[in-house]
Chains A and B, each alone.
Chain A
Amino acid sequence: MWRCSRLIEVEDLHFTYPNGVEALKGISLSISDGEFVAIMGQNGAGKTTLVKHFNGLLKPTKGRVLIDGVDTRHVSVATLSRKVGLVFQNPDHQLFSETVEDEVSFALKNFGFDEGAINERVEKVLNLLDLIQYRKVSPFMLSGGERKRVALASVLAWDPKILILDEPTIGQDSYQKERLRQFIVQLNQQGKTVIIVTHDIEFVVECEPRIILMKDGKVIADGDAREVLTDLKLVSEASLILPEITQIFVRLNDFGFPRNVISVYEAKQLILERLFWRR
C-alpha cells in the first residue's frame, strides 16, 4: 500500500546533456497518487528537463526515477507514457494529422486500443474540451489556443494516470486560462495526479497546489502554495514575483493583516471582517 501511494519517486537525480550542460544537480522528491503539483522557476532552471524524466524521454545520468515503483531506465518511453501523459509547450511540435479526430486517435492507435474504444474515447475527449465541432477540421486551420487544446486532448484521450502540462497558459487569453484552470482542478478532483510546469504565478495561486520551486537544477523549496508563494525571498530567488493579492497584503502587514494571503476570496473575508470590526 505504502509503495502504491508514491506514484513518482525521484532519488538524487543528476542529469547532464550530451553537450556538457549539467541541467539537474541532485533532485530528490516524491509525488503521491492524486496530488496536484506545480513546478516553477526561471527559464533554464531545469523544469522541463525534470518532467522529461517522468516519462523516460531522458534517463538519469546519476540517481534514479521510479514511476509506480518501476525504474525508468528499464522500460520504454511508450510503456511509461501509457501512465504518464506529457503535453508539450508548443502544440506545433506535435500536430501532423489531416483532421483533429486523427490527431487525437494517433496515440490511441499506438497504444493498441481497438476501433470501437478509439471512437468512443475521441468523442468523449473532444466533447470534454469543447472541440467536437472541429472533429473533421485540419488542426492547422485552428487558432493557437485551439491547437493547444487539441494537443491536450490528444494526451487526455488515453487517460494517463499522471498528467503533466508544460507551460499550459502560454498564448491563452484570460477566458481560456480560466477554463483551463477549472478543467485541471476538475481532473485532479476526479483523482488524476496533475503536474504543471509554469511561470504563471497568478494562474497557479488560484489552484493552491503543492509548489516545487527550482533554480539552477536544484529544488529550492517544496511545500504548500500558501507557504512558498508568500515567501518573498524564495519567490524572488526563483525569478518570480509575489502574487498580486499577496503583494497587497504584505504592504498591509503594518495594519495587522496577515502576510500569507493568496486567494481573492480569503482577502475579501479579511477585509470585510476588518471593516465591520472598525465600525
Chain B
Amino acid sequence: MSMFDGLRFRNVSSPIHRIDPRAKFIYVCALFVAAVLFNQLIPLLILLLIQIPLVVMAKVVREWLRLIRGASFFAAIIFIMNVISLYFYGGYPSLASIIEHALAMTVRFIVLVESFSIFFLTTSPDMFGLSLEQIGVPYEFCFAFTTAIRFVPVLAEEAQTIIDAQRSRGLELEGGNIMRRIRNYIPILIPLIVNAIRRSLELAEAMESRAWGASKKRTNLYVLKMGSRDYCLIIVSILMVAASVYVWLFIKIPSITQILWP
C-alpha cells in the first residue's frame, strides 16, 4: 500500500496545492509530451530535476520519495530489459552507450510517474471533480469518479478487516498452488463485494433523501477561477513543449558518453 500513498492526496497548504487543477493538468501533459519526445539522457535528467523544486514547494517530499522507492522496482526491470535488448539488437557502439540509453528509458519512466504523483498528491479529488465538471464533463460522471476515489481507502480498510476475520477462522492465504491461492480469496472477495454493493445502495438512498439531482442545472459553492499564477503555469507549460519540439527538431543533443569519451 505504501507505494500508492504517493498517489493519494495530502492536505497541506502550499502554493502548488492552490494552483488550479486544470493548469496543473496541462503542466503534467506538457511534461508527458516532453518526456516522450526525448530519448537521450541529458534532457530527461533535466526534466527530472526541474520537478524537484515543485515537490519541495508542495511539501510532499516524503510521500513523493516513497512513491519513487516503490517505482524503483519497475524502474529496475525497465533498465535490465533495455540493457538486454539493446545489447542483442541495438547495434550500439559501446557498453557505456547502451547503459546510457537504458538509463534514459528508466529516467523517462520515473519522470512520468513523478509528474502524475505531483498532480495527485496536490489535487484533492473534489477539486479534480470540480475541474472536470467545469470543462463540461456531465456531473454524474464527475460524481461517480470522485466517489470512487474517495472510497478506495474505505474499501482497503474493510478488506483488511475481512482478511482478519477469515484468518481467525483458519483461512491460510499463503501456500498451495495457484488455483488454491485463487480459491483462497473467495471468502474475502464475496463479503467485500456484497458490502460494497450494499454500501452503494445505502449511499444512493441517502443521496436521494437529500434531493440529489433535484435541479437540472447545478451550481457550485466553489467556482474555480484561473488566477495569474495559473496562467503563468500554463504559459510555462506551452513554452516547455515548444522549446522541447524546437530542440528535438533542430539541435543535436550530445550523449554523456560522447562528452566523456569524444
Contacts and interface: CB of A to CB of B under 8 A. Distances in A.
Interface of A: 18, 52, 55, 57, 76-78, 81-82, 85-86, 88, 90, 92-96, 106-107, 110-111, 140, 154-155, 158
Nearest to A55: B168
B230 interface: no
B187 A57 contact: no
A185 B129 CA distance: 54
Interface of B: 2, 158, 161-162, 164-172, 186-187, 190-191, 194-195, 198
A124 to B, nearest CB: 18
Nearest to B195: A92
Contact of A110 (B172, B186, B190, B198): B172
Given A95-B191, A140-B194, A76 B161 contact: no
Contacts, number: 62
A78 B165 contact: no
Contact of A106 (B161, B162, B187, B195): B187
A77 B198 CA distance: 29
Contact of B168 (A77, A90, A95, A140): A77
A85 B169 CA distance: 8
Given A18-B2, A81-B168, A95-B191, 7 more contacts: A88-B168, A92-B191, A94-B169, A96-B186, A96-B191, A106-B169, A154-B169
Contacts of A106: 169, 171, 187
Contact of B171 (A55, A86, A110, A155): A110
A57 B164 contact: yes
B167 to A, nearest CB: 5
B170 A93 contact: no
A141 to B, nearest CB: 12
A140 B193 CA distance: 13
B194 A78 contact: no
B164 A82 contact: no
Contact of A94 (B2, B166, B172, B198): B166
Contacts of A155: 168-169
A86 B168 contact: yes
A111 B162 contact: no
Contacts of B2: 18
B167 A77 contact: yes
Contacts of A85: 168
A95 B208 CA distance: 29
B164 A88 contact: yes
A140 B190 CA distance: 11
A93 B158 contact: yes
A133 B23 CA distance: 63
A82 B170 contact: yes
A95 B166 CA distance: 9
Contacts of A93: 158, 161-162, 165, 191, 195
Contacts of A107: 169-170
A45 to B, nearest CB: 18
A171 to B, nearest CB: 14
A57 B162 CA distance: 12
8 contacts: A81-B167, A82-B170, A86-B168, A88-B164, A94-B166, A94-B187, A96-B186, A106-B169
